């Protein structure tokens, strides 16, 4: 798959370096455009319409990230702008209707999103725009929280903005659109990352004084217009790629669903007489559990009711058997987090936030104390099937690492009897989740309780066919990547 966002930024980077457009002698020099902008600002200062800027420092050699054509010029963003400000720093009084009041969430997608906006009174809006008045062709930029995303105001809308948005006023729309491209480029991302303030206990932000210092590669106005036109054309192509990939991903998800659906029902494999019957496997599992009960390694379970016809989600081959998941798996949840518990060994653990379909995210794991009596119960080993009790209920993964780990109580650990193939039941969980068979129940925090895991109805194929099904599904899905 093509990373369309990275591709878009790469195209912009090349464009603002002058590598996608031809430099023509009759374009003139960026110095001319720069002088025109300064003269325009001077006239407005004389008329009292804007304030005189503080002089900005010259751009040092180590601030220049790339070479530009000879007829271009590096300038500070503040030199190109009539004003750089931000929205109100106090929370206004909201009301059900009135003047729209926008914040980062309304532009962070890269376009205006007016589906969820707040409103303020006309009186309050009139006060706010005395300092910060957004107008058509101005630039809005995310400066707190979400950083750097910029758009040109291209709609006729009277509105005010919160402090999380910066407002940049320029001499005309072409300059605004070009500034947006620079800020939204890969170069802009890197500059913002290097110049953001905050962190630790504070939200990241771009200070207005810092924003004014952003070095901008200024081209002659004719070339800027060509760059913007080219970017519009490329943007259309990239959007087409994005839409085609989205359709492909959707089609792929549907196909994956059908493959797994067919696989766990025995429709992708042949039922072979030498496989034997699932009844034999079931009997072996019961014998194994009976022996473990005698040895005191597991407790005797209460018998579960027979499986009713309305509990069966699909037909299975004649030599398969419907069972309860708890009959063929030993299962339990991990340890509940208790900050006051300081007894035992301090060990890393995973919770549902570390678990995803088919993989784990194991960066910066937390630790808690485990007593010696708790460690075995809460420890997972390579091959164990894990199922989320809460969060994305039923989400499953197989622990495929050579080292052991502990689990928190919102994860079920399942370890099968009789040599059953855990991957087959991972695919079963994926199918059940996709079908809506698994959902949340209860009031408040919903979950997939141990009782529900134990009583979940599951197909039991003979072991050899389980293995063939997994191999077949794995092989087909690998070809689809």
Do the domain assignments include residue 257?
Answer: no
Residues 400 and 281 in one domain: yes
Residues 56 and 106 in one domain: yes
Residues 270 and 237 in one domain: no
Do the domain assignments include residue 248?
Answer: no
- The answer to whether residue 441 scores a pLDDT higher than 70 is no
The whole-angstrom separation of Cα 162 and Cα 131 is 12
- The answer to whether residue 384 scores a pLDDT higher than 90 is yes
Residue range of the domain that includes 132: 4-241
Q: How confident is the model at residue 446 (pLDDT cuts 50, 70, 90)?
A: low
The whole-model pTM stands at: 0.67
| CATH value at residue 169 | 3.90.220.20
Under DSSP, is residue 31 helix (H, G, I), strand (E, B) or coil?
helix
254-311 pLDDT, tens digit per residue, is 999 999 999 999 999 999 999 999 999 999 999 999 999 999 888 888 888 999 999 9
Mean pLDDT of 179-193: 95
Residues 163 and 297 in one domain: no
Mean pLDDT, the chain, whole residue set: 92
216-233 pLDDT, tens digit per residue, is 999 999 999 999 999 999
Residues 208 and 349 in one domain: no
* pLDDT > 70: percent of the chain: 98
Do the domain assignments include residue 325?
Answer: yes
Buried residues in 43-55 as b, exposed as e (16+ CB within 10 A): ebeeeeebeebee
Question: Which has the closest alpha carbon to 12: 220, 190, 174, 227?
Answer: 227
Residues 236 and 282 in one domain: no
Residues 51 and 198 in one domain: yes
Residues 340 and 214 in one domain: no
Count the domains in the chain: 2
Residues 291 and 436 in one domain: yes
Residue 201 pLDDT: 64
Residues 176 and 272 in one domain: no
Tokens 């491209």 locate to: 181
403-420 pLDDT, tens digit per residue, is 999 999 999 999 999 999
Q: How confident is the model at residue 435 (pLDDT cuts 50, 70, 90)?
A: confident
Mean pLDDT of 163-192: 95
Residues 103 and 175 in one domain: yes
Do the domain assignments include residue 155?
Answer: yes
Question: Which has the closest alpha carbon to 455: 316, 328, 334?
Answer: 328
The whole-angstrom separation of Cα 217 and Cα 18 is 9
Residues 221 and 339 in one domain: no
């Amino acid at each position: 798959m093509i990373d369309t966002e990275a591709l878009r930024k790469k195209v912009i980077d090349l464009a603002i370096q002058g590598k996608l457009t031809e430099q023509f002698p009759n374009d003139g020099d960026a110095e001319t455009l720069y002088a025109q902008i300064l003269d325009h600002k001077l006239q407005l200062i004389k008329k009292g319409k804007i304030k005189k800027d503080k002089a900005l420092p010259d751009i040092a050699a180590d601030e220049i990230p790339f070479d530009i054509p000879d007829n271009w010029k590096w300038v500070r963003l503040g030199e190109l702008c009539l004003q750089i400000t931000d929205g109100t720093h106090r929370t206004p009084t909201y009301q059900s209707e009135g003047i729209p009041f926008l914040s980062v969430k309304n532009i962070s997608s890269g376009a205006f999103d007016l589906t969820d906006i707040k409103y303020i009174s006309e009186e309050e809006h009139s006060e706010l725009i005395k300092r910060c008045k957004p107008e058509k062709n101005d630039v809005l930029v995310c400066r707190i929280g979400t950083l750097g995303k910029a758009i040109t105001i291209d709609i006729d809308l009277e509105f005010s903005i919160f402090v999380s948005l910066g407002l940049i006023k320029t001499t005309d729309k072409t300059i605004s659109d070009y500034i947006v491209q620079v800020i939204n480029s890969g170069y802009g991302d890197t500059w913002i990352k290097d110049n953001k303030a905050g962190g630790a206990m504070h939200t990241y932000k771009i200070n207005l004084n810092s924003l004014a210092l952003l070095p901008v590669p200024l081209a002659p106005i004719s070339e800027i217009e060509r760059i913007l036109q080219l970017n519009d054309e490329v943007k259309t192509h990239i959007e087409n790629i994005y839409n085609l990939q989205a359709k492909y991903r959707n089609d792929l998800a549907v196909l994956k669903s059908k493959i797994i659906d067919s696989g766990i029902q025995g429709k992708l494999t042949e039922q072979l007489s030498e496989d034997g019957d699932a009844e034999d496997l079931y009997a072996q599992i019961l014998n194994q559990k009976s022996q473990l009960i005698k040895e005191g390694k597991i407790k005797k379970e209460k018998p579960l009711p027979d499986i009713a016809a309305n509990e069966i989600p699909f037909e299975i081959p004649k030599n398969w058997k419907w069972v309860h998941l708890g009959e063929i798996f030993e299962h339990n949840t991990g340890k509940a987090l208790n900050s006051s518990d300081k007894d035992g060994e301090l060990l890393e653990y995973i919770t549902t936030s570390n678990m995803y379909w088919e993989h784990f995210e194991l960066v910066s794991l937390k630790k808690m104390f485990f007593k010696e009596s708790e460690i075995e119960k809460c420890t997972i080993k390579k091959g164990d099937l894990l199922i989320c009790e809460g969060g994305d209920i039923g989400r499953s993964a197989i622990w495929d690492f050579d080292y052991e780990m502990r689990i928190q109580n919102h994860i079920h650990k399942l370890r099968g009897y009789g040599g059953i193939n855990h991957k087959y039941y991972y695919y079963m969980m994926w199918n059940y989740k996709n079908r809506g068979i698994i959902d949340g129940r209860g009031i408040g925090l919903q979950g997939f309780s141990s009782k529900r895991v134990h009583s979940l109805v599951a197909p039991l194929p003979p072991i050899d066919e389980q293995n063939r099904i997994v191999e077949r599904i794995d092989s087909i899905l690998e070809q689809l990547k």
